[in-house]
Amino acid sequence: MSRRRSNPGGRGRSQMNPNDLMRQVQQMQSQMEGVQEEANKEVIEVSSGGGMVKVSINGALEVQSIEIDPEVADPDDVEMLQDLVLAATNEAIQKAQAMVAERMSAITGGLGIPGL
């Protein structure tokens, strides 16, 4: 008489070894750190006002440079210059975040992992 193992839930799945799961998580974490390091080095340049204002930012969201064409620096219209700098900076931040998110999703398989 043969004995059958009971399979609670009857799903026929084998359980994952916790050690294997931990190794996979550590490997993913290591890959993500590498991607973040590379992204931090990459610089994205964005311009506004037809190239009158240029902002460069890296993947760590650190502004690397701001270039302003002297022609746009009108002392009678400082608000326009401020708006152009603001627009270029915000767009640069969005593009840098999107670049990092795209690279991370390649590792995580599109999983939404909090904090990334």
Q: What is the DSSP string of 35-61?
A: HHHHHHH-EEEEEETTTTEEEEEETT-
CB 36 within 8 A of CB 50: no
- CATH at residue 51: 3.30.1310.10
- Alpha helices by DSSP H, listed for 1-116, are 18-41, 78-108
Instruction: Give how many domains the chain has, as a whole number.
Output: 1
pLDDT interval class at 8 (50, 70, 90): low
End-to-end CA distance of the chain: 54
Kindly state whether residue 3 falls inside one of the protein's structural domains. no
Q: Is the residue at 76 inside a domain?
A: yes
pTM of the model: 0.68
- The model's pLDDT over 41-53, given as tens digits with 9 standing for 90+, comes to 999 999 999 999 9
Domain membership flag for residue 20:
no
Q: Confirm if 65 and 57 have CB atoms less than 8 A apart.
A: no
Answer for the pair 51, 69: CB distance below 8 angstroms, yes or no: yes
Q: Answer whether residue 99 is part of any domain.
A: yes
CA distances from 46 to 22, 49, 53, 99 (A): 40, 11, 8, 13
Q: Is 115 helix (H, G, I), strand (E, B) or coil?
A: coil
CA 59 to chain centre: 7
Task: Tell me: pLDDT of 115 over 60.
Answer: no
Task: With respect to residue 4, please indicate whether it lies within any of the assigned structural domains.
Answer: no
Res 112 pLDDT > 70: no
Print the domain residue range for 101.
42-108
